[in-house]
A and B are shown apart, each in its own frame.
Chain A
Amino acid sequence: MDKHHIDIEKYLDGNMTDQETTEFELRVEVDPQLATQMENERNARRLITAAGRLELKTTLDTVDAEMRASQLVTSDQGGKIMPLWMKRALPIAAMAIVFLGLFQLLQTNSMTSSEVYDTYFNVYEAPSALRSTEGNKLVNWEKASQLYAEGNYREAISYFAKSESEVPGYLTEFYKGMSNLSLDGPYYQRAITAFDKVLATDNDYVEQAQWYKAFALFQIQDKEEVTQLLEEIVANKSYNHEKAAALLEVKLKE
């Protein structure tokens, strides 16, 4: 742990005296390296603030759902007088529901992120050879395709980017997305951005892009959007709809 780090933490936590604060701020002004470290620390804290808020929002969404469910039960009862047998049966029914819930919870498929990756992710086949039109050579596209087929996804991404003028945009975006997903440390958001561009037009890769986008959303736990997209894939029986149905039942282990 370096000295800068300790001072930066102390400063950002407000644990310096007035004199220490003044001295530290002067040091930041004259030391670019310290200033950069300070900005990096601030950015990390900003991201954690955003993450903390998102986590709290999830908690509040759960509370909201509970409230709506209990309001539904109350309005179903509609102020009618409940017969005695029903009053007696209600606790038993409630217990049965709890046990059923617990049973279903135990049945829920719980997996780690890497288990999900190994189970549900397949690298999409490499592009087949395209015929170049007159005077339009597909040099970068062919190189990108070759690198992708060899599993050199990092380099493939840059060649797919270079081949944008050689082949239709949805093709380069789809394979950029696939390459980002296939990396050892996948870049899910970059993949999602690429798949969104595929989904913006009507082409032969829309269904595939939907599935792989859903997979990426699942891995980053964008719960709102992933459920909707997986349900759409299942309802339309589109590409990998069986996997999508199975993924809907999976709970990611923390």
Chain B
Amino acid sequence: MQLLQGSKADRDTALSAIYKANKAKVCSYILGNNGSEEEAKDIFQETVIAFYENVRNGKFKGDSSISTYLYSIAKFKWLNQIKKNTVRTGHHEKVEVEKFSESPLATLIEGEHKRNVLEVLAQLGSACKELLIENLYHNASMKEIAVSGAYSSEQIVRNKKYKCLQKLKQLINEQPALIEVLKGNG
């Protein structure tokens, strides 16, 4: 758990271990409930991301085991997916979806919207992208970012973050369609 909130290397090590230890169990649930291998993999990856976000935001405190927690999220996500598919195909069978208390669950942006996001990031530049993702997504502090390498002090990180955010906002405002997508994905 602590590794998940550490440096990028620690985070990747922890995520890799969690992924390897739980993939079979979670995927076999989805495969056993009419899911394909691809769907099982997608749901499991979204589950791990949702779990990571819940750890990072302090919503998961370790009251249940990681394995049980992941299984619950995956089940919730898969039942939700079935429900969506059922509505889409016009069958109105009632699907019971147990309420999952933690939200919002991670949803990955796809297709053209994903490319819009990638384009904005490409225009933002890799230094800004890394700084903002570390600080705003992974909750790394200014001090941690400064210590990790490229900046000589916390104040320099703070100034850089401000400039990066200004640039990012300008890039986003040039793409009104993207704003709507982001609102639905936050």
Contact = CB atoms under 8 A, between A and B. Distances in A.
Interface of A: 1, 5, 40-57, 59-61, 63-64, 66-67, 113, 185, 187-189, 192-193, 217, 219-222, 254
Given A51-B129, A188-B119, A59 B15 contact: yes
A60 B19 contact: yes
A64 B109 contact: no
A238 B186 CA distance: 41
B133 A51 contact: yes
A64 B133 contact: no
Interface stretch (B59-67, B76-84, B86-94, B164-172): B164-172
A47 B120 contact: yes
Contact of A47 (B20, B126, B168): B168
Contacts of A217: 115
A54 B109 contact: yes
Interface in B154-186: 159, 162, 165, 168-169, 172-173, 175, 178-179, 182-183, 185-186
A44 B165 contact: yes
B139 to A, nearest CB: 9
B122 A219 contact: yes
B15 A60 contact: yes
Contacts of B19: 60, 63-64, 67
Interface of B: 12, 15-16, 19-20, 23, 41, 45, 48-49, 52, 106-109, 112, 114-123, 126, 129-130, 132-133, 136-138, 159, 162, 165, 168-169, 172-173, 175, 178-179, 182-183, 185-186
Contacts of B116: 189
A220 to B, nearest CB: 4
A52 B138 contact: yes
Given A49-B185, A52-B137, A60-B15, A41 B117 contact: no
Contacts of B106: 53
Query: 7 tightest CB-CB pairs across the interface, nearest first?
Result: A52-B137, A46-B182, A220-B118, A46-B186, A189-B119, A48-B136, A40-B169
A185 B123 contact: yes
22 contacts: A5-B162, A40-B172, A44-B132, A44-B169, A48-B136, A50-B185, A51-B117, A52-B137, A53-B106, A53-B109, A54-B108, A54-B114, A54-B117, A55-B137, A59-B12, A60-B15, A60-B48, A63-B15, A66-B16, A187-B119, A189-B115, A189-B119
A118 to B, nearest CB: 16
Contacts of A48: 132-133, 136-137, 168
Given A53-B49, A56-B49, A60-B19, A41 B165 contact: yes
Contact of B20 (A5, A63, A189, A193): A63
Contacts of B118: 54, 189, 220-222
A52 B133 CA distance: 6
B184 to A, nearest CB: 9
Nearest to A40: B169
A192 B133 contact: no
Given A49-B137, A219-B122, 7 more contacts: A47-B168, A47-B172, A48-B133, A50-B109, A53-B107, A57-B49, A59-B12
Contacts of A187: 119
B182 A221 contact: no
Nearest to B129: A51
Contacts of B185: 46, 49-50
Nearest to B178: A47
Nearest to B48: A60
A148 to B, nearest CB: 22
A54 B137 CA distance: 11
B67 to A, nearest CB: 17
Nearest to A192: B115
B41 A1 contact: no
Nearest to A219: B122
Nearest to B173: A40
